[in-house]
Structures are given as structure tokens and as C-alpha cells.
Structure 1
Amino acid sequence: MSMLKKRSVSLAGHATSVALEPEFWAVLDRIAEARGLSQAGLLKAIDAERGRTPLASACRLLALDWASASRD
């Protein structure tokens, strides 16, 4: 299993960090590029839609959904 890689971002005016495996960051980078967003912009969008789900979990779920849809 890969080591977690931490990235920092400002969400709703607060600095926070997200720790994910590099494989998830790679997929999130592709999603951001496909949507014309920066990585921070994508994380802000995920944060706005996640409800009570932890941010790291919401990121992983989006990455899995996107990867799954790409294979269909």
C-alpha cells in the first residue's frame, strides 16, 4: 500500500489538508484537468458537495466513481 501524500488547501476561508494515496491524487488531477479546474478548485467543489462525509473519503469516492465510469 502506498504512503499517504498530504496536500493543503484553503476551504471556506480555513486552511486544511487532505491526505490521500498518490494513486488517488493522480485520478483527482485528471478529473480537475477534465473539468478545467485547478486542484484547489476541484477540492473546493468536492467540499461543497460532500455533506457530512469526511473530505478524504469524498475525494476517494469521486476518484473511484470517475475511474469506474471511464472504464464503462
Structure 2
Amino acid sequence: MRHLVKRSFSLAGHRTSVALEPDFWTALEGMALRRNLPLARLVAEVDAARTETGMPLASSLRLLALADARKAAQGVAQSGETA
């Protein structure tokens, strides 16, 4: 099992830390890069959106990374590509 990696961000004027597995950070960094956003901005957008659900930030980030991976996998399956 891989250890959690903690990163700190300033969200809505407050410092907060988020601990995720390295693979999730890698996925989120890739998403931010594809969207031409700094990782901190992507995290801030997720933080702002999650206030409606009350879900923890780490969980929201994991679900975002999972949704992005599923979307990518569907695109590969539809194009007929193989790994």
C-alpha cells in the first residue's frame, strides 16, 4: 500500500492540507495540465463545488480523478484502441 502525500493549498482565504495517494495526485496534475490550469486552481474549483454536498475535499478529488479516468477509458474503448 502506498503512503499518502499531503499537499497544502489556500482555499477561500484559508490554508488547508489534502492527503491523497500519489496516483491520485498524478491524475489530478494531468487533468490540470490538460485544462491549462494550475493544480491549485483545479483544487479550488473542486472545493467550491463540493460545498453543496458537504463531501470531504479528498473524497471529491478522488471522485474527480476516477471520473476522468473512466471518461478516458470510454474514449479508448469507443475508438477501438488497445493498451
Mapped partners of 1:66, 1:2: distance in 2: 21
Mapping of 1:51-62 within 5 angstroms? 51=51, 52-62=54-64
- C-alpha offsets along residues 1-44 of structure 1, whole Å, 9 cap, x if unaligned? 21000000000000000000000000000010111110100100
**RMSD of the TM alignment (CA)?**
0.5
TM-score (norm 1): 0.97
* Structure 1: unaligned runs, 5 residues or longer: none
Give the share of equivalent positions with the same residue, in percent. 53
> What is the number of equivalent residue pairs in this alignment?
72
* Structure 2: unaligned runs, 5 residues or longer: 75-83
Matched letter for residue 36 of structure 1: N
TM-score (norm 2): 0.85
Matched letter for residue 39 of structure 1: L
* Structure of larger gyration radius: 2
**Residue number in structure 2 paired with 1:41:** 41
1:16 counterpart SS class: strand
